[in-house]
Every structure is written in C-alpha cells, then in structure tokens.
Amino acid sequence: MRFFAPKNNVLPGFRLAMGFTLFYLSLIVLIPVAAIFIKTAAAGWSQFWQTATSPRVVASYRLSFGVSALAALANGVFGLLAAWVLVRYEFIGKRMVDALVDLPFALPTAVAGISLTTVYAETGWIGQWLKPLGVKVAFTPLGVLVALTFIGLPFVVRTVQPVLQDLDREVEDAAASLGANRWQTFYRVIFPALWPAALTGATLAFARAVGEYGSVIFISGNMPMRTEITPLLIVTKLEQYDYAGATAIAVVMLVASFSLLLLINLLQWWSAHRGT
C-alpha cells in the first residue's frame, strides 16, 4: 500500500490517517446511504417504481429540479456581478456587504423562510407593491424561486471571488492597449477565466437548492401538484410511517445529488487542468 502515499509527505502515518478517514466516512456517509438503498430494495422494484413515478411525486420533481435550475442560473449571473463589485470596487460599507453575502449560510433556513414569506406576502413590504401589478410571490412557484435564489447566492460569490482576485490586471491592460473595448476585454479575456468557477458555483447552488427544505415550506404554501417540493414529500411519508415510500423518493434524490457532486468534481478537475 506504500504506493498510495505521497512521496514527500511531511506528516507520517498515512495508513493510520487513511484508516480513520475511511472509518469516519463509513460511519457518517456510507452506512446511512447503504441503509437507504437496502430499505428501498426490500420493498421491491415494483413498489419503488410506483412510488417514485406517481403523479404527485413527479410534479414535485418538476418543481424542485426546474426551479432549482432557474435559481442556479439567476445566481450564476448576479453572483458573478456581486463578486465583481466586491473585488474590483472600493466603497463605504464594503465589509458589511461582504458579510451579508454569507448571511444565508448562517441564518437558520426556517427563519429565512418565515422572513421571505413575511416580506413577499400580499401585505408584506415588497408584496404589497407587487400586488397591484398582478405579481404574486408568496405561495406560488415564484416564491420557491425567490427562496432558492436566496440560499444559493453565496455559493457563486465565494467560488468566483478568489479567482477574480487572482486574475492579473495586466492582461486586461494589454487587451485595452491592443484596441479591445470593455466588452471585448470582458468577453474574451476575463470571462473565460471566470467561467469554470462560475459554473462550479452555480452547480453547487443547484445541488443545495434541490435538497432545500426549511426556507421553502413556508413561502411555497405546500399545495400538491403545484407548490409541493420533493423533500416535503419525504417528510410527509415519514410522518405517515410510509418508510418504503420515503426511502424510494430519497433514493431518487440521492442519485441526483451524487450525479451533481460528480459533475462538480469534474468541473473542478477541468478548471484545474485548464489553468495549467
């Protein structure tokens, strides 16, 4: 097993460290995940397929994955813009704005959901101005989009920010000296360097949004076939002691989440090899 260890390793004890790592991952990740698959397999393929493809569950897939993709796209654009402002400009209150970016990380999701519902309800601070325009946010899919955009923004900002900080300004000056305007400099010089990080951040935001629960259940209204998310269905089936049904839906979400994580790793590998 020696060939697995790094050649120039400052800290010895590779086998012991690897043993503890595998033990920890097995205890925290592998065993619970295996239990979900075993519980689902015990129910049988027919019951799994019937539960995972029922109209109510499929409608929740459509809402969870569809709105999560839209939220990730919005965060990809505005997260890139926020990171640009924080890195390239100096202004009063910059540290406060930088701290606010991490607020969705620190804020309990239930608190975020209650706050968003209060603000975007028809009598809320923002909802009362949208009501005359015929725009209803709370208890609609649009409210789900707002909640998922809120919790996903930090992923894009914090992924793009260090890449933008390391970007050499001399490259931009060289492009300007060669006659490139601001748009050409951004599109041909800056954006290609930021694209892998922005895509990785958007994918992380999408993965987080797919499994989000606390910030969505309050603002969505939880109406079956309309505003009911997949994690809520899992909780509902658990409350009904339908463990086989809950694990069947959980397996679908687990496979989707693992695929997203695999995609994120491939993006990170691509970004690292692209820069070399």
For 89, half-sphere exposure in the C-beta direction (CA atoms, 13 angstrom radius) is 12
Task: Tell whether the model's pLDDT for residue 61 goes beyond 90.
Answer: yes
CATH code of the domain made up of 41-274: 1.10.3720.10
CA angle 247, 253, 254 (to 5 degrees): 80
Lowest model confidence (mean pLDDT) among 29-33, 39-43, 134-138: 39-43
Q: In this structure, what token pair is assigned to residue 183? A: 């748009």
pLDDT (0 to 100) of residue 6:
55
- Residue 42 burial by CB count (10 A; 0-12/13-18/19+): exposed, middle or buried? exposed
Non-local (6+) Cβ contacts of 43 within 8 A are 244, 247, 248
pLDDT (0 to 100) of residue 85:
92
pLDDT (0 to 100) of residue 54:
92
Mean pLDDT (the chain, rounded) = 86
- Could you report the per-residue pLDDT of 77-117, keeping only the tens digit for each? 999 999 999 998 888 988 999 999 999 988 888 899 999 99
Alpha-carbon distance 268 to 37, whole Å?
28
Instruction: Give whichever of 6-15, 83-92, 176-185 has the largest mean pLDDT.
Output: 83-92
Domain boundaries, the chain: 41-274
Q: Are 78 and 153 in contact (CB under 8 A)?
A: yes
Alpha-carbon distance 246 to 231, whole Å?
9
First-last CA distance in the chain: 30
pLDDT (0 to 100) of residue 21:
86
Mean pLDDT of 152-178: 84
Non-local (6+) Cβ contacts of 137 within 8 A are 120, 121, 126, 127, 130, 143, 146, 219
Alpha-carbon distance 207 to 229, whole Å?
14
Q: In this structure, what token pair is assigned to residue 38? A: 């075993």
